[in-house]
């Protein structure tokens, strides 16, 4: 029966189970279901993105010996370059961070390599090397320092922590050649006697000639004095 001004009758539809439901109720359920899937997808994608970004930073911290990323200061870089004066051969920075030491060495004429466990820092270092125009002589690799052999390098740079220095002493003593030089920043090696020292406090740098460490050269720690040309 048709009514003149009454509300239109609610349309009913039959479900597969034989139950009759209002069409409007079925539509609302579908909309809620779609929003639920969308919300779940957004949350899941966000968690995956956070995991991908955070993992390279968190995994090194879970290691027995952690080598944290602390950017080198301008003075530390200057002191390292001083210790490389008159040196030749290839150079490696162990735990190269954002690449500033490797880039500075490349600018000074060295073929320089950086090993870093954090892939984000490695990619950033490669970008910075390209930006500075030294990408041909400054290379960066994602690697654990304990899995790398350093025998091919004549100059080794390390910004270490006290807990790792004794083990690193043994590793470098086994692998490096007599003409190699090791430059330690922030913390010295506990058993080695440095050949040269420069800088103060956290900017201090110690240079060790492997021939001296092995007893094949004079043991004379000398505080480095830059040559002033008149």
Write out the residue range of the structural domain in which residue 177 sits.
74-225
111, part of any domain:
yes
201, part of any domain:
yes
**The domain that contains 209 carries what CATH number?**
3.40.50.150
21, part of any domain:
no
Q: How many structural domains are present in the chain?
A: 1
Residue pair 107/117 in contact (Cβ under 8 Å)? The answer is no
**pLDDT digit string (tens) for the chain, length 230 residues:** 444 555 555 444 444 445 444 555 455 655 556 665 566 556 655 544 443 444 444 444 434 455 667 888 999 999 999 999 999 999 999 999 999 999 999 999 999 999 999 999 999 999 999 999 999 999 999 999 999 999 999 999 999 889 999 999 999 999 999 999 999 998 999 999 999 999 998 899 999 999 999 987 665 555 555 443 43
Ramachandran bin of 193, using left for φ above 0, alpha for ψ from -120 to 50, beta for the remaining angles: beta
7, part of any domain:
no
Whether the pTM exceeds 0.85: the reply is no
85, part of any domain:
yes
């Amino acid at each position: 029966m048709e009514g003149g001004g009454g509300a239109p009758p609610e349309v009913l539809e039959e479900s597969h189970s034989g139950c009759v439901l209002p069409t409007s109720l079925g539509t609302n359920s579908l909309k809620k279901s779609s929003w639920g899937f969308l919300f779940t997808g957004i949350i899941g994608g966000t968690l995956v993105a956070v995991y991908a970004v955070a993992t390279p930073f968190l995994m090194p911290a879970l290691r027995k010996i952690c080598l944290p990323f602390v950017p080198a200061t301008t003075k530390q870089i200057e002191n390292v370059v001083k210790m490389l004066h008159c040196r030749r051969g290839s150079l490696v920075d162990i735990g190269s961070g954002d690449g500033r030491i490797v880039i500075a060495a490349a600018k000074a004429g060295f073929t320089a390599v950086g090993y870093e466990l954090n892939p984000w820092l490695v990619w950033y270092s490669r970008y910075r090397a390209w930006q500075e125009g030294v990408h041909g002589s400054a290379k960066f690799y994602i690697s654990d320092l304990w899995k790398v052999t350093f025998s091919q390098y004549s100059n080794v740079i390390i910004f270490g922590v006290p807990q790792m220095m004794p083990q690193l002493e043994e590793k470098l003593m086994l692998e490096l050649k007599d003409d190699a030089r090791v430059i330690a920043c922030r913390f010295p090696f506990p058993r080695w006697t440095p050949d040269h020292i420069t800088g103060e406090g956290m900017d201090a740098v110690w240079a060790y000639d492997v021939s001296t460490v092995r007893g094949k050269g004079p043991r004379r720690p000398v505080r480095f004095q830059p040559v002033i040309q008149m």
